[in-house]
Amino acid sequence: MSVLHFCFVSSLFGPRINSMPYLFFAVEITMYFCRLCNDMNLTIDVGNTLYKFAIFNGNILVEKQRCEKQDVIQHIKQLFVSYPKITHCILSSVGSLTSQAITLLEELTSVHVLSHLSKIPYTNTYKTPETLGPDRIALVAAAAMKFPKKDVLVIDGGSAITYDFLSAENQYIGGSIAPGITMRYKSLHSFTAKLPLLEKTATIAKIGNSTEAAIHSGVIQGVTFEIDGVIHQYKDQYTDLTIILTGGDAHFLRDRLKNDIFANSNFLLEGLNYILELNKD
């Protein structure tokens, strides 16, 4: 539909479509038609204080948005004004989402809450599937859909650093969980008497010549050495390994790692959308 709409809009402008302002306007009009005519999916990654929204047209990511907890009701309302053709929604969790927000979503669209009971595009061999976090379920779903018949290690560099392995036989085996960068800084400050609370910085010294420099060196190098070490451990057993790096710290970490990796900040959102498609009534 979007190609037809673009051709129609382009015909209205004739030769002027080659002009950049007219081209931008034609694209905007095309997107407007898509919003009106195509059924869309909404994925919501529910955090403790921050919510991340993504609108999909099929498997195409149309737009990403985010808001803080106190603004979620108004944000949801505005989303459905901008995208009236949203027909289905998936929530990664309802833990920090108010009952008012959930009720509003259920009034506006069909809602699926991700859990270990959801249909997924792989076999879950985790011994305690009910304890597997929805973010990890979604990340492995994205790996299964994007890299079929591949051994895939998904590394999520967020509040915690998670490692999840999907085999070439499409079986989720498990992984590991470690403290994230911010958590390591906070731990050094909270569990010692005098160490200051710092935030990550782009430039670090291999050998810290001050307390702050030593903290930065220890945290950042500790994380990168850990990730490279875990990757090598997997590569010893799975030589043709595909590695995905995602999460809030993905791009910060990417250039510091010695291994070849794919960095994809939308991997979780894409996984949620794949699962939503599988669970539509």
The catalytic residues are 135
Residue type for 248, please? G
Nearest CA to 262 out of 276, 241, 278 is that of: 241
One-character DSSP codes across the chain: -HHHHHHHHHHHHGGGGGSHHHHHHHHHHHHHHHHHHS-EEEEEEE-SSEEEEEEEETTEEEEEEEEEGGGHHHHHHHHHHH-TTEEEEEES--TTS-HHHHHHHHHHSEEEE--TTS--SSEE--S-GGGS-HHHHHHHHHHHHHSTTSEEEEEEESSEEEEEEE-TTSEEEEEEEEE-HHHHHHHHHHTSSSPPP----S---SS-SSHHHHHHHHHHHHHHHHHHHHHHHHHHH-SSEEEEEESTTHHHHHTT-SS--EE-TTHHHHHHHHHHHHT--
Residue type for 194, please? K
Residue type for 161, please? I
